[in-house]
Structure formats: C-alpha cells, structure tokens
Amino acid sequence: MKVKKIPFKEYKKIYSTVPRLCVEVILSTDKGIALTKRDIPPAIGKWHIPGGTVLKGENLKGAVRRVAREEIEENVEIKKMIGII
C-alpha cells in the first residue's frame, strides 16, 4: 500500500485539535512526590507531574513505564492505577 504524507503544517493543525490519550506518573518516595521541570511548551521551566501521550500500540501501563524511564530515568513498579479522567 502506498502512503501519501500530508504537509507538516496540515498535520500540526489536525494534531492540535484531536484529543489524545495521556498518562501521568505519580512517583511517591519517602521524600515526597517526584516532579520534573517542563522543557517543552506550554509552561517551559515550570514544575509538573511527569506525563506523556500514549503511543500507538501501547497500553496504559506500558506508557506509564516508558514515561517514567524518559522523564525521571526510573524503572517503576506500578502499584495501582489511580483513575481515568
């Protein structure tokens, strides 16, 4: 099957209007909850709970593990899923 790509500007317009499934990682330690500073818009430099988009073919727990590795450089044990909003 031949795939035709759309222009990047058109892709960004569509991407910015389509809802995306995301996960947040609440890593609790004896010192508190892990936060990271954002390095992308919006709110660059502000503290936030690490999170990210669920990728195609990824389940929620897989996304949580990936986000934890990418954002806080930790391999996490998922004790429970708190909720879906």
* pLDDT tens digits along 31-55: 999 999 999 898 999 999 999 999 9
pTM greater than the 0.95 cutoff: no
pLDDT of residue 26 exceeding 90: yes
Q: Which residues are bridge partners to 52 per DSSP?
A: 23
d(CA 63, CA 56): 10
For 24, the 3-state DSSP assignment is strand
CATH 3.10.180.10 fits 20-85, yes or no: no
- Mean pLDDT computed over 53-71: 95
CA 66 to chain centre: 8
Report the percentage of the chain scoring pLDDT > 90: 78
Q: Is the pLDDT of residue 3 over 90?
A: no
pLDDT bin (cut points 50, 70, 90) of residue 78 is: very high
> 54-82: buried (b, 16+ CB within 10 Å) or exposed (e) per residue?
beeeeeeeebbbbbbeebeeeeeeeeeee
Domain spans in the chain, listed from the N-terminal domain onward: 20-85
Q: How confident is the model at residue 61, as a pLDDT?
A: 95
